[in-house]
Amino acid sequence: MKKFAWLSAILLASLPTIALAAGAVEGGSKQATNWSAIGMFVGFVGLTLVITYWAAKRTASAADFYSAGGGITGFQNGLAIAGDYMSAASFLGISGLVYTSGYDGLIYSVGWLVGWPIVTFLIAEQLRNLGKFTFADVTSFRLGQTEIRILAACGSLVTVAFYLIAQMVGAGKLIQLLFGLDYWIAVVLVGGLMMIYVTFGGMKATTWVQIIKAVLLLSGATFMAGAVLYKFGFSPEALFAKATEVHPKKLAIMEPGTLISNPLSAISLGLALMFGTAGLPHILMRFFTVKDAQAARKSVFYATGFIGYFYILTFIIGFGAITLVSTDAMFLDGSILEKTKSGIAAIKGGSNMAAIHLANAVGGNLFLGFISAVAFATILAVVSGLALAGASSISHDLYGMVIKGGNANEQDEIRVSKIATLVLGVLAIFLGIVFENQNVAFMVGLAFAIAASCNFPVLVMSIFWRGLTTRGAVVGGFLGLLSAVVGVVLSPAVWEVTLGFAKGSAPVKLDNPALFSMAIAFAGIWLVSILDRSKRAAVDRDGFDAQYVRSQTGIGAASATAH
């Protein structure tokens, strides 16, 4: 544990110095160094490092490392799931979207929430009853271990990679703005802290970081939304009236705008958001941290409540920012305001900063510091959850099950996942820096599309369909993965915006490929499975009954604790 204390001491001690150094080199788009934000952030990091130290002492077995020993309660897990899901993208991104387009922001919030009931009804309990550490435990329950583990690892790692890049680039940009740190320092800081949390504290530390962050974020957002409503005498009508008066789009912000114009595109995005949620590896992993199926079911209920409440808050926060930020010269860039005459377009740092400026408007500099620190904490926590899911997939699925054929020494497996975390951390830092000036907005959509087209179909078919065979799952799963990636590359967002081909030349008109990539995956799984006459297929189908009884009753399920 000496090494750990040493590392954290260096890190804590170096934080203010890094900030000082960065403060001296003022970049164009950077804010002045925000001391109250840095102070509160250092406090958060200190607290999480103490927790990591505590967790590290209690993390000995593989069950501790991957699933926090199964000792998380339903309520705690509900908060942790909400923490994993309420990323900086949804906090700053959605409130920013409401700020610029009004109602369109709500359409996204709704899409991001509606996957949760489906998870509750069809997946949560079955997942807990069948699996142990990763969702591949469930999909490979009665199917060929090697093939299915490789498929699940590919699906997990690709999803995690795109999600991670989007978070790292977002983190770098945001921290540059919030704290006045250089982009690369911000990315290294996020990557470094994440590696410490995950390698030393495993799932226990990651879960508690997630819980603390969820509580901070929910309280901060509640205070902000409350302060906004207070200013308008707790009358949403008065808030909307003022917003439509000052917003250049006037009454159009109260109805669906141009964001979703093509009906097929809207449905495709809806499918990706709804079913992608049920296929995100870092979310699915959380169901193994609770005692039993009952706790798993309760935890999604709490999570749905927290996330739904949070999205309602972001809607109020976005409208609050329209009324209080876009009308205050303090938060606007004078030269852009001169040109566009619109307070919405002239917001300092872009629309993602709407919630941050609003914090300053309603709570002054101290609260601004608090919200900035929470935003940073949010990124840190989400990135840690992603890294843990990716590392588990490498160590448990690939190393433990494929390479060692299920006979890996527990300590070796933990060591491999720690090494994998370090590799993923370095890779995330590297990719974060490489993609600094790229448009990465499509990457979260792509992660959801892949989760919905590869992980989700295989998972749901393996739980519910007797006829599923190994060959069917592998062919259908890879077809879904491939068509999702190809569909995104050929979509307007990447073909025209990122690759720079002529406008209107994109071969696929849908911004999100889920509509056809999910169809391809399900059709592929079904067709190949029913045509499969191999010996393995007979074993796969025969295994269904035992799997089904266990998924329903939990008899034989992995016990919560290894001790």
Partner 1 sequence: MIDVSSLAKIERDPNYQELVRRRSSLGWLLSAVMLVIYFGFILLVAYAPKFLGIPLGSGVTTIGIPVGLSVIVLAFVLTGIYVRRANSSYDVLIRKIVEENRS
Interface with partner 1 includes 78 (CB under 8 A)? no
Q: Are 175 and 352 in contact (CB under 8 A)?
A: no
Q: Does 7 bind partner 1 (CB under 8 A)?
A: no
Q: Does 555 bind partner 1 (CB under 8 A)?
A: yes
**Residues facing 332 on adjacent strands:** 347
List 195, 266, 283, 515, residue binding partner 1 (CB under 8 A): 266
DSSP-assigned letters across all residues of 328-352: -GGGB-HHHHHHH--TTTTBTT-GG
Mark out the alpha helices in 325-409 (DSSP H runs).
334-340, 354-392
- Nearer to partner 1 by C-beta: 113 or 382? 113
* Residue 251 CB, nearest approach to partner 1 (Å): 6
One residue of 438, 534, 553, 559 binding partner 1 per CB under 8 A: 553
Q: CB of residue 508 vs partner 1: minimum separation in angstroms?
A: 18
Nearest approach in angstroms of CB 321 to partner 1 is 17
Q: In angstroms, what is the minimal distance from the CB of 90 to partner 1? A: 13
**Taking the complex as a whole, how short is the minimal distance between the CB of residue 30 and partner 1, in angstroms?**
36
**99: Cβ–Cβ under 8 A, 6 or more apart, which residues?**
105, 318, 321, 322, 325, 326, 344, 347, 351, 354
Binding partner 1 (rule: CB under 8 A), the pick from 64, 84, 125, 532 is 125
| Closest listed residue to residue 468, CA positions, set 539, 385, 384 | 539
Minimum distance, C-beta of residue 253 to partner 1, in the bound complex (Å): 9
Output DSSP code: residue 304: H
**Residue from 270, 369, 445, 492 binding partner 1 (CB under 8 A):** 270
Coil/strand/helix, residue 277: helix
278 binds partner 1, rule: CB under 8 A = no
Beta carbons of 502 and 442 less than 8 angstroms apart: no
What does the alpha-carbon distance between residue 118 and residue 136 come to, in Å, rounded to a whole number? 19
> Which positions ≥6 away from 243 have C-beta within 8 Å?
102, 253, 319, 322, 323
Q: Which one of the spans 2-10, 235-243, 361-369, 471-479 is the region binding partner 1 (CB under 8 A)?
A: 235-243
Of 42, 60, 118, 490, which lies in the binding site for partner 1, with binding defined by CB under 8 A?
Answer: 118
Residue 352: count other Cβ atoms within 10 Å of its Cβ.
Answer: 22
Site for partner 1 in 81-110 (CB under 8 A): 103, 106-107, 109-110
How far is residue 99's CA from residue 322's CA, in Å, rounded to a whole number? 6
Which residues lie near partner 1 (CB under 8 A)? 103, 106-107, 109-111, 113-114, 116-118, 120-122, 125, 236-237, 240-241, 244, 251-252, 254-257, 260, 262-263, 266-267, 270, 274, 294, 297-298, 300-301, 304-305, 308, 311-312, 545-546, 549-550, 552-556
